[in-house]
Amino acid sequence: MIQMNYRTLLFIPGNNPGMLQNSDILGADGLIIDLEDAVALTEKDAARTLVREYLTTFDTTTDVFIRINPLDSPYFYEDLEAIKDLDIKGIVLPKAGIEPMEKLDEYLNENNLEFDIIALVETALGLELALDIVQRSKRVIGIFLGAEDLTLDLGAKRTKESKEIQYARSRIIAASKALGIQAIDTPFTDTDDIEGLKIDTQNAKNLGMTGKTVISPRHVDEVNTLFSPSKADIEYALRVVEGVKVANEKGLGAFSIEGKMIDKPIILRALNTLKLSGQYKEEYDELLK
Amino acid sequence: MNYLNNKELKDVKVISKSEYPSKSVPKAKITKDLSSLIKELGLNDGAVLSFHHHLRNGDKVLNLVMKEVQKAGIKGITLVASSLFPAHEELIPLLEDGTIENIVTSYISGGLGKAISHGKLKGHIIMQSHGGRARSILNEEIKIDAAFIASPSADKMGNISGVNGINSCGTLGYAIADGLKAKKVIAVTDSLLEYPNYPADITEDYVDHVLMVESIGLKEGIVSGTTKVTKDPIGLKIAKDTLKVMEATGLLKDGISFQSGAGGISLAVTSYLRDYMIENNIKGSFASGGITGYLTDMLEEGLFTSLFDVQCFDLKAIESLKKNPNHLRMSGSLYGNPEVSSVVDNLDIVILGATEIDTDFNVNVTTGSDGVLMGGSGGHQDTAAGSKVSIIVSKLFSSRIPFIKDRVDVITTPGSTIDILVTERGICVNPLRQDLIEKFNEANLKIVDIKELKEYAEKIMGEPKTIEKGERIIGLSEYRDGSIIDYIYEVKE
């Protein structure tokens, strides 16, 4: 299977049973169940228990990530211990830095866990070291910009226009693209301002973000739409997979479309486009084998 | 020559000059004395008194009149109230002392419903639909001795208007049958306006008395300032899926007629429908039922040519009714009387709520999960029967209680008239509607068997406990045509 590109990653508070129970029907490509900021210190234990109960009782149809507490909190390893046997896709590592990434990778390796990691970059140091940080683990599938904490660290005023995070966005995007992983944008925090959400998402997409986290289910559809492939993208992707099929049948190693050589990254992108557009077929799983 | 009462022409007497009539003098209809009025009406034990519910939970008239009836010592009243609200909880002592013996209504909520479920009504409660109520009054199955019509405004001759006065509530659709058929009609008002008061919902020729009172109601309980679409993501998911269902029926096209309630999910469906109609340049025919500002906006935007309004739900609807000639008043009979041609029979799609549904698609909106009276058909039965497609929208769980049962506690609306159920976990289609099943398959719209959805819900939440019922039948669930479709039992306290 190809790596899913998450247009939307929806935050679900780990201490909210109503939200957890219905989290998989809200249309997001992936879920981030939060054990960190959404959960008060006094509720950390209860949230872990609740999340375990939810994930062992319900069959979720959506990829689940869990945002654990940071390494510099007393809960980092407690969280990992509590979730290590759960059927989840991966971990969101807050306050991503070199040491936290190494410690997390080490823990996952020692426990033979196949979890992916999304690095949440939300400090000035983390931003400047992003490329280095994510190279400390092969498990990292994306970098997620956390603009609220970052702007606090930078001493910048957070605004809806988001000019103050343009550099951070671009730096995250560059690091992600350099490593072929996803660049995941910070959430838009005004849950009622759908027009503002659209503008913010479009801006992020124009810079090169590949998806966005959302904190309100009402934001899911708009963000999914904006990050969905265009009709032309879909048509091109279909031509690519048809080309791969023919090349495979003829035993050709390489082929071209409209004079352009089609290599593995292009095929992967085409498959991803078809996934996002709902036109992916199971037979495509065989194309790259 | 029937108009001569079968007399021969030679037997007809022409009156003499001395018998010529004098000029008529307007009848004096105004009174401020309710006590004297009750005496004057000559109400006896067992009288049938009617009230409407356009003032909803803000209504003061029903309590005021019935307490005076109690003071007069009249017993065994049959109360024909189009709906009863928590504000009417004050009537519980009147059940206990036998002033009120039977109740006929279309909806009941609050303490009064609870008291009746616990056996405090000596007689029975008959739960009707709005259309069924109008039918039973107009065909004189129910004979009303006196109709006390809460009137936001009236003039001295009894022209009643719902859009004027400090406690305006909009249309008075549910009171029309009472006005036409009651032996005595009393306009109860706190706003006496200059003659003629117009536009009149009930005109003076049907009104016998005008009772002036200090206040007929509390404005904040009568209408909502604004009605709002739900922000609940699950409600919005259901609404979104409902729009997909509507699209798959093939009825979302020019000329569509539509009705939905004022509940959060229903309003969200209306809101999504509006966006869809604008995007696809669809011009609808009419929307009907209780009217909200969402529908009046759609009327003004040209998305519907007219609104049939039996009840205004918010201030915007009242304003629209006042100024927009395409915003039409609709009586309970015109709305859903099954014995005549009615608006529901011209409906394409209706969106309805429910307390519970069973695997035969029977719906209960009469009692809650504890078996206690907390609602009623209203227009549920009427619109489900009349519309081309009836859609129930609901969450699969309510307060951790699964929504789908083997058998609903009380059948309000028979499953034979319910076509589709939309929940956040799946869409079910009544097997009686193979035509819809085929359309949904063509549209690649996934449907699930209602029994499977029930099993899923019970797997998560467990099977709910059975409600502990008493032996006594306290009431009947009446279908709109007058037939009885279920018993309502006493619930143990």
Query: Does B272 lie in the same domain as B136?
Result: no
Q: For residue B291, what are the β-bridge partners?
A: B312
Question: Among residues 19-38 of chain A, which lie with CB inside 8 Å of chain B?
Answer: 21-22, 25-27
Q: Which of B157, B188, B222 is the last residue in one of the domains?
A: B222
Cβ separation of A22 and B231 shorter than 8 Å? no
Average pLDDT for residues B215-221, to the nearest whole number? 91
Determine, yes or no, domain membership for B341: yes
The answer to whether B233 contacts chain A (CB < 8 Å) is yes
Query: Which tens digits make up the pLDDT trace of B332-369?
Result: 999 999 999 999 999 999 999 999 999 999 999 999 98
B352 and B406 co-located in one domain: yes
Cβ distance of A57 and B233 shorter than 8 Å? no
Q: Read off the pLDDT of residues B79-104 as tens digits, 9 standing for 90 and up.
A: 999 999 999 999 999 999 999 999 99
Q: Encoding tokens for residue B184?
A: 């005595």
Cβ of B234 within 8 Å of Cβ of A25? The answer is: yes
Contacts B233 to A, Cβ<8 Å: 22, 26, 216-218
d(Cα A178, Cα B82) in Å, to the nearest integer?
70
- For residues B124 and B168, membership in a common domain is answered with yes
- Tell me if the bond preceding B196 is cis, omega within 30° of 0: yes
B47 compared with B493, residue with greater pLDDT: B47
Q: Same structural domain for residues B50 and B159?
A: yes
- Cα–Cα distance between B254 and B420 in angstroms, integer? 22
What is the rounded end-to-end Cα distance, in angstroms, of chain A? 10
CB distance A217–B460 less than 8 Å? no
Q: Are strands B100-105 and B125-127 parallel, antiparallel or unpaired?
A: parallel
Same domain, B278 and B413: yes
B175 and B86 within one domain = yes
Measure the CA–CA gap between B385 and B347, rounded to whole angstroms: 10
Place of tokens 């209860």: A46
CB atoms B233 and A58 under 8 Å: no
- Per CATH, the number for A8-226 is 3.20.20.60
Q: Are residues B248 and B217 in the same domain?
A: no
B163 with B238, same domain: the answer is no
Question: What is the residue range of B132's domain?
Answer: 30-222
CATH number of the domain that residue B336 is part of = 3.40.1080.10
Instruction: State chain B's mean pLDDT as an integer.
Output: 95
User: Would residue B54 count as lying in a domain?
Assistant: yes
Q: Is residue B273, in this structure, part of any structural domain at all?
A: yes
Residue of B nearest to A220 (CA): B233
Nearest residue of chain A to residue B396 (CA atoms):
A22
pLDDT digits (tens, 9 = 90+) for B305-335: 999 999 999 999 999 999 999 999 999 999 9
Q: Which residues of chain A have pLDDT under 50?
A: 1-2
B50 touches B83 (CB < 8 A)? no
**Which pLDDT score, from 0 to 100, does residue A120 have?**
98
**What does the domain layout of chain A look like in residue ranges?**
8-226, 231-286
Are B216 and B275 within one domain? Answer: no
Give the residue-averaged pLDDT of B150-163. Answer: 98
Q: How many domains does chain B have?
A: 2
Contacts of A58 in chain B (CB under 8 A): 460
- The two tokens of residue B227 are 């009605």
pLDDT at A1: 42
Q: How far is B411 from chain A (nearest CA, A)?
A: 29
For residues B310 and B412, membership in a common domain is answered with: yes
Based on its alpha-carbon atoms, the radius of gyration of chain B, rounded to whole angstroms, reads: 24
B200 found inside a domain:
yes
Coil, strand or helix: which one is B472?
Answer: strand
Percent of chain B with pLDDT over 70: 99
The answer to whether residues B192 and B242 belong to one domain is no
Instruction: Return the bridge partners of B420, or none.
Output: B391, B429
Residue count of chain A, please give it.
Answer: 289
Cβ within 8 Å, pair A218-B424: no
Secondary structure class of B373 (helix, strand, coil): strand
Does residue B218 sit in the same domain as residue B321?
no
pLDDT of A3: 59
Residues of A whose CB is below 8 A from B240: 221
- Identify the pLDDT of residue B2: 65
- Dist. CA B452–CA A218, nearest whole Å: 29
Indicate if the pLDDT at residue B392 is higher than 90.
yes
Q: How far does the CA of residue B34 sit from the closest CA of chain A (Å)? A: 51
Q: Model-level pTM? A: 0.88
From B236's Cα to the closest Cα of chain A, the distance in A is 8
- CB spacing of A25 vs B237 below 8 angstroms: yes
Last residue of a domain, which of B196, B222, B248? B222
